[in-house]
Amino acid sequence: MNLKDQYKVIEFPDFGDERGNLVVIEGEGIDIPFDIKRAFYIYGSDSTVVRGQHANKETEFLLVNVAGSSKVKVDNGKESTIIELNRPRMGLYLSNKLWKDMYDFSADSVLLVLASRHYDGKEYLRNYDEYIEYLKNEGLLNE
C-alpha cells in the first residue's frame, strides 16, 4: 500500500456568513469515508510534547485543528510524511494501520479527532517494532 493512498487532506465546506463561520463534517461517506462513532479533542499540549506514537489496527480517524496548529507525522512502515494542520476547515483523514505522531502544538491548539470506532485499547499498537511485526504478519510489509 502506498502512503499517499492511506491519508487524505480534505477541505470542508464553510456555511459562514456575516454572523461568523460554520463548518460541517458529515460522516458515512458524505464528507469523510466513515460513520463517526467517537469524538475527542486534545488541548493544553505544547511544542515540547509528542502525542500519538501508536498505530490502530482498525480505527480510521479524521483530525482537524479547530484552533491553532499542530503537525502530524504518518508512517506506514515504509514511507512517512508530515502534514501541518493549521486551518479549521482543513481535515486530515487517516486510514487504519498507520503509525501516528502528533507534535509541535501551538499554545492555542485544539485538535479535534473523529473516529470510526469506539475506544478499544486492544487495537492499539504502542511499540514501533511490534507495529512492524504486525504489518509483516498481515502481509502488508515485505520481510
Chain residues in the site for ligand TYD (CB under 6 A): 38, 40, 42, 51-52, 119
Give the separation between CA 81 and CA 4, rounded to whole angstroms. 9
Backbone angles phi, psi at 135, to 5 degrees: -60, -40
Whole-number CA gyration radius for the chain: 15
Q: Looking at beta carbons only, is 90 or 112 nearer to ligand TYD?
A: 112
Give the separation between CA 10 and CA 55, rounded to whole angstroms. 21
The CB-of-4 to ligand TYD minimum distance in angstroms stands at 23
Q: Looking at beta carbons only, is 51 or 71 nearer to ligand TYD?
A: 51
Q: Which cell is 39 given? A: 469524538
Task: List, by residue number, the catalytic residues.
Answer: 54
The CB-of-82 to ligand TYD minimum distance in angstroms stands at 17
Q: Looking at beta carbons only, is 76 or 109 nearer to ligand TYD?
A: 109
CB 115 within 8 A of CB 32: no
The CB-of-37 to ligand TYD minimum distance in angstroms stands at 10
